[in-house]
Amino acid sequence: MKFRAKMIDITCIKEFSNIVSTIAKLAKHCVLRISQERLFFIIHEAGAVGSSPGLWTELDQGHFFNEFNMEGVSEENNEIYLDLQPDLFSKTLNSLKTTQAAVRSLKVKLSKKHTPCLTLEVELPSVSLHARTVVHDVPVQLIPRRQWHLYKEPEMPKFDASVYLPSLRQVKHVVERMKTLSPNISLSANKRGTLITSVSTDVVSVSTHFKNLNVPVWGKSTLGIFC
Quick: pLDDT tens for 149-171: 888 887 777 888 889 999 888 99
Arithmetic mean of pLDDT, 188-202: 94
**Model confidence at 127: pLDDT above 70:** no
SS3 content of the chain, % helix, strand, coil (to 5): 25, 35, 40
Average pLDDT, the chain: 86
Q: What was the pLDDT predicted at 150?
A: 86
Confidence class for position 207, pLDDT limits 50, 70, 90: very high
Distance of alpha carbon 18 from alpha carbon 12, whole angstroms: 10
- Residue 71 scores a pLDDT above 90: yes
| pLDDT per position as a tens digit, 1-32 | 999 999 999 889 888 988 999 899 888 999 99
Q: pLDDT grade, residue 51 (50/70/90)?
A: low
**Separation of alpha carbons 59 and 70, rounded Å:** 15
Task: Report the b/e string of 126-152 with b at 16+ CB within 10 A.
Answer: eeeeeeeeeebbbebeebeeeeeebbe
State how far the Cα of 4 lies from the Cα of 69, in Å rounded to an integer: 5
- 220 has pLDDT over 90: no
Choose from 47-56, 125-134, 152-161, 187-196 the range with maximum mean pLDDT.
Answer: 187-196
Mean pLDDT across the stretch 41-54?
Answer: 66
Q: Please state the pTM of the whole predicted model.
A: 0.77
- Of all residues in the chain, the percent with pLDDT exceeding 70 is 86
Model confidence at 79: pLDDT above 80: yes
What is the per-residue pLDDT for 60?
94
- How much is the pLDDT for 193? 94
Strand, helix or coil for residue 107: strand
Classify domain 2-151 by CATH number. 3.70.10.10
DSSP state of 72: -
Residues 144, 145, 146, 152, CA torsion sign = positive
57 CB-near residues (< 8 Å, 6+ apart): 19, 23, 40, 41, 42, 225
